[in-house]
Structure 1
Amino acid sequence: MNFCKRTDLILVLITAVVTTSILGFALSNQVVAQINGTQQQNQMDYTGFHSNIEQIIAHLEKAEYNKFFNNNTLTLGHALHPIEEVLTLVTIPLSTADSNLNDTYFKDLYQLSALASPGNSTVDEFDNKSKSSIELSNEVVATVIPATVLSTTEHNVSVIKDLLTISGSEYKEGVAGGNIILELEYQDGSAFMDRAYTLFNNTQNISNDTQSVTKLLSDFSNLTDSVQSLKEPAVIDQIIQKMNIGLSPNDNSTTSDVSSSQTSQDYIDTIRGLLNEVITAYESNDKIKAKELTTIAYLDNFEYIEASIGKELSDRGEALLREKLREQIDGNASIDEIKQNIADINKVLDDSAGFLDSNPK
């Protein structure tokens, strides 16, 4: 994913559009979750929700880090990523649980992103605001996820595994040949790993086997060292898969196993299905759901094929799916405009499938 620098004016416009879209549509009382490419279910995906909030916290921590070192571009990048890519996925369950907190959370993250723009805050001001936003993020988790779920080892392990798997995907985008090629994605990967480690340390009784816990701690250390040494993504993936198995030794259906069994064509097929659902949701005037599905199509599917299809197709798909389609939904585009853009996205998917057939790995 390529980061484009935003101006304060754009931030204000985005805030207005999103706020209008949220207030303009009634939210369903039934929470429908579809995270990480899974099928829609009439139940809450607590793992996906918690993982998404942990990713937001990771971005905020990295924004703090970069602000301290006076890197305005990366500070703004990490402050904007939760808004651009994750916030849509948590809106429906949070609004269902507490609509006032949902509004507060949206406004808070937009305020932080405004402070991230060069010259809009001192290091101390930004640090205080980001810490406040992290506290609010933790409140969001506690509000949506029942304490009876949040306190279980099973739940926390599932979130740790999800964070590790996503971190590997981000790292793969950011590093190649022992060099950082996309700094923002590299930092995303390491930040998600840090959140997984924090959650691991905060989880009581993660295993009754002291030797297993010691081994997992050693694996976390190895993962951190390997990331800092810019080891090849394949090496990082192997470590993560090993850790996911170690976290659930009796469970053969780890998140990483599911992800690794998915082919590029599987992701392409999933994207096509999600785009059809976007049209259905938009025609039903459910713009929140349409935007959520768009985010899932990009974040949980297209990102997984970007490295395989080459820069030209990756850039085309990102511009149409991640940027244009979301902007059209926010801007109340006509259904014909939405359908035309989706047709253009499907053309990119056709070209991607052809490229993959001609360049098998």
Structure 2
Amino acid sequence: MNKAVRHQNLICYSLDRESPNEINRLYCKLGSTNMRMQNESKSLTSGKQHFNPVLLVACFAATMAICTSISLYPGFAEGQESGGTEVDAIQNTTDTSTSESNSSLVELDSNIEQIRGHLDQAVANKEIGNTTLARAHTLHPIEEVYSSIETQIDASDPSLNQSLSSSLTQLSNMVDNSTVEEFRTKALDINGLLNDTVGKVIPTREINDSAFNLMVVGNLLSIADSEYKEAIENGSVKEIVEYQDGQAFISRARSVFNESSPMIPQEQSAKIQEINGFFADLGSAVQEKSSPEVVSNAIRSIVHEISEVTGINEESISGTETDTSAFILEIRNLLNQTLDAYENQNYDQADTLAIQAYLDNYEFIEAPLAALNRTLMETTEVMLREDLRQLIQTHAPLEEIQEHIEKINSNLNRAEDLLAASG
């Protein structure tokens, strides 16, 4: 058999056995073989027109093999147009990279806002003559925050990175030997450099995106929550720097939220009012040195509303995982307390406890539960938010209240099983 024809037959044989990913490579190989055969034919005929039956048979066989292979692997033909699975994989990688990049930018912006918070507290302490705390708040950005953002700033503008770094050090050195006005002016200069940093490092589309800014709010509140837990014990401040950190980060979170509010669609105006109300409650709780649990609940309420506004899950906003089992346990405890209060004819307290079971707890498992069983989530929500309170307010028989709470607990058991299995 002619060597070229035998080679052609081997390719045709392989096409029926190779995976779709190999077909394109073999197709190219086949094309080059045909071209070589044609060149050899021209050489043999010395430029004369010559009918080569062997070449005709080989080409026909090759064409039939390709058609058969395409019919066996329809994805191959589609892949030539769409890029196939390899393009999809590239797209998936790009989407993942974009998500990671966005998360990195949220953290960067949050770190910048934390520096602003430290500057605010440094100036406030300088104004009242407390240089010890003023110095602490000038050192925290240098020791705890700046190293997290330095690389990103330097990659965009090395000169800006150097100016910002040296200015933070200069401010710390000015604590003892500057006037309040000089100190305040230097802090304002640093804020200007931070503004430049945002403009250089964070794309405009993120800066003007309400969801991005609300993610920054959630990140700041999560850090404030941690600082407050370190600072307060039994209604007293045990760590003053951490207490002021918590105050500062909450203040910056509220400032970012206020700046972002005009970007939020008008139909979400009711949610904006709710979040403002929760911020007011949070500020009062911190000012009164309430328990960390009270502050955490207020922060969770804000994060929950932000989640509803943006459609982003609460874990992504706060950077923490929702402990659904803890919320369900607390709902059960509150329902038991509700029943006790009702049995003692303390109807107002029973109503308050029922509200707490829903607002401070059930709302935080709604999103993950809805993703698994929306009907169960909505049914339990109505039973807890509306039906139970209706029974309490109309002074229904105790047995009816007990039966209703048992049904809620039964639904909570189902919810707990679903959430645990998914998790």
Note whether the superposition's TM-score is higher than 0.5: yes
1:112 match: 171
| Matching of residue 61 in structure 1 with residue 120 in structure 2 | yes
Q: Call closer, same or farther: CA 1:256–1:241 in 2, change over 3 Å.
A: farther
Match among 136, 149, 171 for residue 77 of structure 1 = 136
1:127/1:82 CA distance change after superposition, 3 Å: same
Alignment partners' CA distance in 2, 1:155 and 1:42 = 12
How far 1:43 sits from its partner (Å)? 7.4
What does 1:13-32 correspond to in 2, within 5 Å?
Answer: none
Q: Would you say the 8 A contact 2:111–2:145 is kept in 1?
A: yes
Residue 328 of structure 2: aligned partner: none
CA contact (8 A) 1:165 1:255 kept: no
C-alpha offsets along residues 29-67 of structure 1, whole Å, 9 cap, x if unaligned?
A: xxxxxxxxxxx9577711000000000010001100000
2:281 to 217, 222, 234: 222
What is the letter of the counterpart of residue 238 of structure 1? N
1:287-308: CA deviation from partner (whole Å, max 9, x where unpaired): xxxxxxxxxxxxxxxxxxxxxx
The alpha carbon displacement at 1:185 in A equals: 0.2
Which one has the largest radius of gyration?
A: 2
Q: Determine whether 1:180 maps to 2:237.
A: yes
What secondary structure sits across from 1:248 in the alignment?
A: helix
Q: Compared with structure 1, are the counterparts of its residues 44 and 210 closer, same or farther at alpha carbon in structure 2 (3 Å cutoff)?
A: closer
Structure 2 residue 216 is matched with structure 1 residue 155: no
Checking the alignment, whether the CA contact within 8 Å between 1:94 and 1:140 is kept in structure 2 is yes
Aligned to 1:206: 264
Cα distance between partner residues in 2 of 1:252 and 1:193:
21
CA spacing shift, 1:105–1:73, aligned 2, 3 Å: same
Equivalent of 2:292 in 233, 244, 256: 233
Q: Kindly indicate whether the alpha-carbon contact (under 8 Å) linking 2:286 and 2:295 is maintained by their aligned counterparts in 1.
A: yes
Deviates more, 1:154-163 or 1:198-207: 198-207
Question: Number of residues paired by the alignment?
Answer: 221
What SS class does the counterpart of residue 263 from structure 2 fall into?
A: coil
1:245–1:254 Cα contact (<8 Å) kept:
no
Matches of 2:103 and 2:292, distance apart in 1? 32
2:225·2:246 contact (CA, 8 Å) conserved in 1? yes
Given the alignment of the two structures, is residue 252 of structure 1 paired with residue 333 of structure 2, yes or no? Answer: no
In structure 2, what is the Cα distance between the partners aligned to 1:66 and 1:105? Answer: 22
In 1, Cα distance between equivalents of 2:153 and 2:102: 14
Q: 1:285-296 to 2 correspondence within 5 Å?
A: none
- 1:138 aligns with 195
Within 1, Cα distance between the matches of 2:279 and 2:285? 10
Distance 1:160 1:44, change over 3 A: closer
More helix by share: 2
Q: Which residue does 2:336 correspond to in 1?
A: none
Residues 315 and 321, structure 2, Cα contact 8 Å, conserved in 1: no
Show structure 1 runs of 5+ residues with no match.
Answer: 1-39, 263-361
TM-score of the superposed pair, with normalisation by structure 1: 0.59
Aligned partners of 2:206 and 2:212 also within 8 Å: yes
Query: Aligned residue for 1:194?
Result: 251
- Displacement of 1:135 in angstroms is 1.4
Distance 2:236 2:141 in 1: 26
How far is 1:210 from its partner?
1.7
Give the match for residue 293 of structure 1: none
Whole-Å separation in 2 of the counterparts to 1:141 and 1:256 = 20
Identity %: 33
| Contact preservation (8 Å) 2:218, 2:318 | no
| Distance change (3 Å), C-alpha of 1:77 and 1:233 | same
> CA-to-partner distance for each residue in 1:48-105, whole Å, 9 max, x for gaps?
0000000001000110000000001100000000000000000111011101100111
Give how far 1:234 is off: 1.1
Equivalent-residue separation in structure 2 for 1:157 and 1:194 (angstroms): 14
Letter of the structure 2 residue corresponding to residue 145 of structure 1: I
